[in-house]
């Protein structure tokens, strides 16, 4: 599977003193593939994402059971905050053939 970043992020030397508080991934970056797109998590995605996450089996081997709506909402509220800070970048996985959100993924602990 091949993904293409839009907008393209150019690799450049970062001066740690000037860029410590800047986001490494420009907000609203979309990664595009043949079958799925990775879209930045937005508040309007949360309900559809919860439908994909509500199966208890998905969470059997994880520290938090996000099939419980309150836990799910807390986790994704925190994800939105951390994305705004530039500490992580959360994507929803949009399945093109079905036109549905089928999950999420993220870059954690983005620190220079």
pTM to 2 decimals? 0.73
SS3 51: helix
Task: Indicate whether 27 pLDDT > 50.
Answer: yes
pLDDT tens, position by position, 34-56 = 999 999 999 999 899 999 999 99
Place of tokens 């089928």: 102
Both tokens assigned to 83: 């994305």
Q: Considering the domain boundaries, does residue 49 fall inside one? A: yes
Q: Considering the domain boundaries, does residue 7 fall inside one? A: no
pLDDT tens, position by position, 11-24 = 333 334 444 456 67
Q: Considering the domain boundaries, does residue 33 fall inside one? A: no
Q: Which residues of 39-60 are buried (b: 16+ CB within 10 A; e: fewer)?
A: bbbeeebbeebbebbeeeeebe
CA distance from start to end of the chain: 28
The phi, psi pair for 17, rounded to 5°, reads -70, -30
Structurally, how many domains does the chain consist of?
Answer: 1
Task: Please give the helix or strand (H or E) that residue 38 lies within, else none.
Answer: strand 36-40
pLDDT at residue 112 in the model: 61
Which range of residues forms the domain containing residue 56? Answer: 42-112
Give which of 111, 66, 106, 46 is closest to 85, Cα–Cα. 111
Q: List all residues 6 or more positions away from 13 whose beta carbon is below 8 Å from its beta carbon.
A: none
């Amino acid at each position: 599977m091949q993904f293409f970043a839009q907008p393209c992020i150019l690799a450049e030397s970062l001066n740690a003193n000037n860029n410590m508080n800047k986001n490494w991934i420009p907000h609203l970056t979309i990664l595009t593939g043949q079958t799925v797109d990775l879209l930045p998590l937005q508040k309007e995605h949360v309900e559809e994402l919860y439908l994909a996450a509500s199966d208890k089996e998905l969470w059997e081997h994880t520290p938090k059971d996000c099939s419980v709506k309150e836990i799910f909402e807390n986790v994704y509220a925190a994800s939105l905050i951390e994305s705004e800070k530039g500490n992580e970048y959360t994507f929803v996985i949009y399945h093109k053939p079905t036109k549905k959100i089928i999950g999420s993924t993220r870059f954690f602990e983005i620190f220079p």
